[in-house]
Homo-oligomer: A and B are copies of this chain.
Amino acid sequence: MRIHYECFMCIADQCQRIIEMSTDDLEKRKKAAVFAAKLMSKLKEDSISGIVASEIFSELYKFLGVEDPFKEYKERSNELAKKVLGSIEKNLDVDLKTALKLSIVGNIIDFAVGYSLEKIEGDIIQLINEDLYIDNSKELFDRLKNAKTLLYLTDNCGEIYFDKLFLKKIREEFPDIKVYIAGKEQPAINDATVEDLRNAGLQEVGEIVSTGFGIVGVPFDRISGKFKEIFESADIIIAKGQANFETLNELGDNRIFHLLKAKCRPIARELGVPQGAILCI
């Protein structure tokens, strides 16, 4: 997906968030904001939103001298996700389809840090009671029956606990499938790195692999080595969240199933769905 007009402001907004997460020193924040302002000229009309954003964030990290400014935030999301999920699993009989929906709506953990457990759990239960706005899950499950390998592209921390549950259900249903679970090589905002995946025990439900980059989504024209082999040979690819959609949708690759909530206007516009829609496409 190429940038839409709103991406400029959204990237600026995330730069401010990165700056605030990285330092409390107001002078350093100002210098970083002036530096980020200059980085904005990287935006071109044909830029792929997730890629150009990641390039800007990565230079800003270097300027700020930080490796992972979202570390604490990611830990809080993980803690919250674990608790919410523990409670949901107690109160709800989670089948494969429910686990798929949970893996999509688990994304709201990203906005929920600070809310009460009850509120988040309530919101999630409400969302999984809704139908998917576009629902190709039957086709996904049918094709998983005959698949030998599945590549699962994760998105944010927090959400990865919901992914773990979904992958557990997939393995129960399709025990012969070989599952690869991709995380980022280096930190990129609140995306799960391979280290985050390991810490969350994702190795219990598949083999953790690295995309090779600290870039949100998959920069498919730059991937190499083992990840490239897995990406190219996978029978089915489940791609979570907006950034994987932004970086992969133009491939038109029918092995890829996108599971996402269309959180922002550009994604909703690109897909022709209402903002907020939850989708398996």
Q: Which A residues form the contact surface with B (CB < 8 A)?
A: 3-9, 12-13, 15-16, 19, 26, 29-34, 36-38, 40-45, 269
Residues of chain B within 8 A of A43, CB atoms compared: 33-34, 37-38
Give A36 to B40 CA distance when docked, in angstroms: 9
| Cβ–Cβ < 8 Å partners of A26 in chain B | 4-5, 269
- The quantity of this chain's copies bound in the complex is 2
Q: Taking chain A's interface residues, is the majority helix, strand, or loop, or is none over half, making it mixed?
A: helix
| Set B3, B4, B8, B16: member contacting A36, Cβ < 8 A | B8
In order of increasing CB-CB distance, the 5 nearest A-B pairs are A12-B12, A5-B29, A37-B40, A5-B33, A8-B33
Distance in angstroms from A172 CB to nearest chain B CB is 45
Q: Which residues of B contact A19 (CB under 8 A)?
A: 5
CB pair B31–A45 under 8 Å, yes or no, is: yes
Given contacts A12-B9, A16-B9, A26-B4, contact A44 B40 (CB under 8 A): no
> Chain B contacts of A42 at CB under 8 A?
37
